[in-house]
Every structure is written in structure tokens, then in C-alpha cells.
Amino acid sequence: MEGARRATGNGSSSAPPPNPEVAATAKRRQFSSSEKQRILAEADGCTEAGEIGALLRREGIYSSHLNTWRKQRQAAEQAALTPQKRGRKADPALQEARKITTLTQEIERLRHKLAQARTIIDVQKKSLRLVGAADGRDAARVILMNAVHVLAPAVGLACACAVMDIPRSGVYREDARRRQVVFGPMAPAPRPPAPLALSEPERQALRGVLVSERFADCAPATIYATLLDEGIYLGSVSTMYRLLASDGPCRERRNQLTHPAYAKPELLATPPNEVWSWDITQLKGPAQCTGFHLYVILDIFSRYVVGWMIAPRETAELAEQLIADTSAKQDIAPGTLTLHADRGASMRSKPVASLREDLRITKSHSRPYLSDDHPYSEAQFKTLKYRPEFPERFGCIEDARIHCQQFFAWYNTAHRHSGIGFMTPETVHYGRAQALYELRADTLNAAFLLHPERFKGTLPQPPKLPTAAWINPPKPQAAPPTPSASTLN
């Protein structure tokens, strides 16, 4: 009774009972194939206005239904007209057997992959322990090479190199180096004689004709044609060339000009005003085939533009004037400056050469057709011409001069150059970089003391100041690799 009262009690303060009504879910009408065909036939027979609409309302459908059913009917008719494939039907038992065979092969392949993965994991564990205990980078590389040789028979060389992060070319070079150390340089195998080659008496007869007084000054092609005209065949033109090359007389006999061997310039600047790089670039004028010439001298250590000039033409006299005035402004002592340039006409002119002799400036020229020997001037010109305010053309020379005045003022005093520790060229050139570096370091120290967790406990350092600027630095001499006793078991 008490339970019944709890279930049916008056409970005026209890929650309202749930609504017992269950709403019926609407179900979309389904049309069979016969119904679709009947409706389509009636629709095809409707010719008067309004009959299609009455049919749609009576059947409770839309015009889109008719379009869809017509497409289905057309597809069914085309499928019925398509010729069926003839022949025996596939045997279900045979298909099942083929499927079982395919799955069996896939299982075997996956088992092989699993075995390879286990081998790779085992070798990786051992090699990582040895690499962690190795002394130096060379010893660690020897351990990784040994791991690759252990893995290669099991998983293949390409997979072993990918797992150990070693390029295959490095493995090939290491194997060749080991073979050379163990067996010495391999002598090339003697080349077997060609089966269609001339016999020794035939070679002697052809050699006698080639070096005879009659054909001493004739080319092999001429000798070949002359002998054919006389009804004689001793060998082809290529055979004649091979015979002459083996004996030595086949060489270039014309007095041809050979280019001199240009030495690669190697220049080092440790303070400012030790090495300057200068070049000339052309700025487009107001019309086609018109332009102005911009002369720029750059200090490679500080990246400071020490002198520039814009002129309507390129002449040696203007280049001489620019170098002389810039040297005077920078107070260059005789014998302390190296002037590097390319091999342009103004750079190798007599007025510029005489000025260098008078001021005792060391000359340096880049090799022909190599921009690598002239990197600083090329990079500075790219900075000039890739600025967003650089115009497509200049209206006049005064317009170009005003633009260059604004650009070089920004470049020297405001441009933070990545090659000099994000200092401005003027700061480095005039010796104020160290004070600014210390100010940056103090700022970073204060930020570190305020929030050391933001720097992961590592004291931040400002970008390093330049200590040297090179043009074609010499390549460091690589030390020979030392063999390590670490091996994999």
C-alpha cells in the first residue's frame, strides 16, 4: 500500500508525468518498378495543358521524380542493349581457392615483414647503446655503418640505410674505401680484343699509309676518300683515328688560342676598410634602351657603402674619380686596402690601374662568368632592386639620384643586416657595434632574470658580431677517419 501510494500519491510538488503520446514517424512512399512505368506512361501521354500537374498532384510526386525515373529507364534500356559477356561462368569454388591462395601469400608477406621489423628493432637497440657510449662523431658513424651491414642481408640495403639514417652513397664509398685499404688499388682488367678488329699485318699496312709522305698532311677522312677513289679499302675513318691515337701522332696541330687559368681570389677582411668590393649596375631610364649607371663601393666587413655615384654613362675616368674621392673620405693609408671587382672594362682600365699604383691599393679580380667571386656587390644590388619602392623606370637622372640618396641612407643607418649580427652597417663600420652588443646582452639578461622559465633555463645571447668576412674562404682540410673497435654482435 505504501509503495502504491508512492506511485500514485497526490504529490502536488512532484514533477509532471511524461507525455504518453508517441508520435508516428512519417514514412516515405516507395514506388515499385511497375508503378514507375505506369506513371511514366501516363506522363508521356499527357498532351494538354495542366494534365501533367494534375497527374503529379494525384500521385503525390514532383517533376523531379519524373526526370529521375526517365533517366533510370534510359539507363536500363542501354544496359539491356549492351552485349553480354559470353563463355563459361566463374566457378565459385575456384574463386574461393584463388582468394585463399592470395590471403595465404599476404600472410607470408606480413610474416616476413614482421621478422624484418624485429631484426631492425633489435639492431637499433644495440646500435643506439653503442652510439651513446661512442667517443666522437667518427666512432658513432662506424657503429652505424656496421649496423647497416648487419641489417642489409635481412632487410635489403635501401631499407637498412633508411632505418639507420645513412645515405646509400656513403655506404658505397665506405665499402670502396675498405676494399682499397685491404686489397690496394684495383688494376683495371685488360680489355679483350674486339672480334672484328684488324689483324696486326693489316694494322701495319694501314699505319704505313697514314704516315707516308703522300698522306702526311691529310686528315683521315681525306685519306679514306682518296683510297676509295683508287679502289683501295684499308679501314674506316674511325679505325684510322684509333690507330693514330694509339701511336701518338693524332693531336691538335693548329695554333689555337687557349684561355689562361684564372686563380680563385681568396680575400679576408677582419677590420673595416681592409677589403672593398665595387661594381656598376644599370638603372632603367624613361624609355627603352636608355638608362643610368650606378657605381657602388662596399666594405665587405661592415657592409657599409663607402662611396657611390650615378652617371649617364660608364667611363674609366668616372670610376677613377669615385675611387680617389672615396679613399680620401675614408682616410685610407697607402698599402692597407684591397680593391676587388669583376673584369669589366672600367675595372681593368688604365686610369684605374694608375690610380691603384699611386695609392698603393692591391687589386683583385673575380674569375670570368662566376658570380660567386663577387658576392657582396651582387647581394647589395639585389637588396636595392628588390625593395618595394624601387620603380620600374626612372624619369630622369635626378629622379634616380634622389632615390639612391634615400636608399643608401636607409641601407647604411637603418638596415639591420643578418650577416653582421643584425647591426646597421654604419654601427659596425665606425666601431660602435660592441657597445650596442653589450646593451643587447644586458637587455636579454634582464628579461632572463625576470622570467627564466620562458627561456628554458638557458641564458639568451644576442646575435654574434662579425669577426671576419671572406671571399672564397679556403676549404678546411678534412682529417682522415680513424677506425673504431666498436662492433655489433
Residue 21, pLDDT > 60, answer: no
Residue with cell 566463374: 90
Q: What is the pLDDT of residue 22?
A: 46
Q: Angle at Cα 97 formed by Cα 94 and Cα 98, nearest 5°?
A: 90
> Could you tell me the pTM of the whole model?
0.51
Nearest to 314 by CA among 344, 355, 358, 339: 344
Residue 400 to residue 286: CA distance in whole angstroms: 11
pLDDT given for residue 68 in this prediction: 92
pLDDT band at 273 (very low <50, low <70, confident <90, very high): very high
pLDDT at 253 over 70: no
CA-CA distance, 394 to 317, in Å (whole number)? 24
Q: How far apart are CA 223 and CA 236, in angstroms?
A: 10
Whole-angstrom Cα distance, residue 278 to residue 182? 53
**What average pLDDT does the segment 44-62 reach?**
87
| Better-scored residue on pLDDT, 64 or 122 | 64
pLDDT grade, residue 488 (50/70/90)? Answer: very low
Query: Which cell numbers hold the place of 157?
Result: 640495403
pLDDT band, residue 87 (cuts 50/70/90)? low
DSSP secondary-structure letter at 419? G
Cβ-Cβ contacts under 8 Å for 123 (sequence gap 6 or more): 147, 150, 151, 488
- State yes or no: pLDDT of 172 exceeds 80: yes
Q: Are strands 275-284 and 338-341 parallel, antiparallel or unpaired?
A: parallel
Give the H or E element holding residue 44.
helix 33-45
Q: Which has more confidence, 174 or 441? A: 441
Task: Say whether pLDDT at 20 is over 60.
Answer: no
pLDDT tens track for 175-216: 877 766 656 666 777 888 888 888 889 999 999 998 899 998
Local confidence band at 489 (pLDDT 50, 70, 90 cut-offs): very low
| Residue 52 pLDDT class (50, 70, 90 cuts) | confident
By the 10 Å C-beta count (0-12 exposed, 13-18 middle, 19+ buried), 42 is classed as middle
| 257 pLDDT tier (thresholds 50, 70, 90) | confident
d(CA 283, CA 397) in angstroms, rounded, equals 10
For residue 188, the one-letter residue type is P
Contacts of 270 by beta carbon, 8 Å cutoff, 6+ apart: 301, 467, 468, 469
Assign 138 a pLDDT band (cuts: 50, 70, 90).
Answer: confident
Taking all residues of the chain, what is their mean pLDDT, rounded to a whole number? 84
Note the pLDDT of residue 274: 95
AA identity, residue 214? R
Number of neighbours of residue 312 by Cβ within 10 angstroms: 13
Per-residue pLDDT band at 16 (split at 50, 70, 90): low
Strand pairing of 362-365 and 338-341?
parallel
Cell numbers 501510494 correspond to what residue? 5
What count of other Cβ atoms lies within 10 Å of the Cβ of residue 156?
A: 12
Whole-number Å distance between alpha carbons of 134 and 383: 47
Tell me phi and psi for residue 413, to 5 degrees: -110, -20
Round to whole Å and give the CA distance between 74 and 451: 76
CA-CA distance, 60 to 48, in Å (whole number)? 20
Look at 53-57, 153-157, 377-381 and tell me which has the smallest mean pLDDT. Answer: 153-157
In angstroms, the Cα distances linking 234 to 137, 238, 336 are 63, 12, 70
Going by C-alpha positions, the residue among 311, 370, 377, 308 that lies closest to residue 340 is 377
User: Is pLDDT above 50 for 486?
Assistant: no
Q: Give the model confidence (pLDDT) of 395-439 as tens digits.
A: 999 999 999 999 999 999 999 999 999 999 999 999 999 999 999
pLDDT of residue 380: 94
Rounded to whole angstroms, how far apart are CA atoms 176 and 182?
A: 10
Instruction: State residue 194's pLDDT score.
Output: 81
pLDDT score, position 7: 44
Q: Out of 15-24, 139-148, 187-196, 320-329, which region has the weakest mean confidence (pLDDT)?
A: 15-24
Question: How much is the pLDDT for 165?
Answer: 80
Radius of gyration of the chain (CA): 44
Given a contact cutoff of 8 angstroms between Cβ atoms, the answer to whether 286 and 487 are in contact is no
Region for 245 from its dihedrals, namely left if φ exceeds 0, alpha if ψ lies in -120 to 50, beta otherwise: alpha
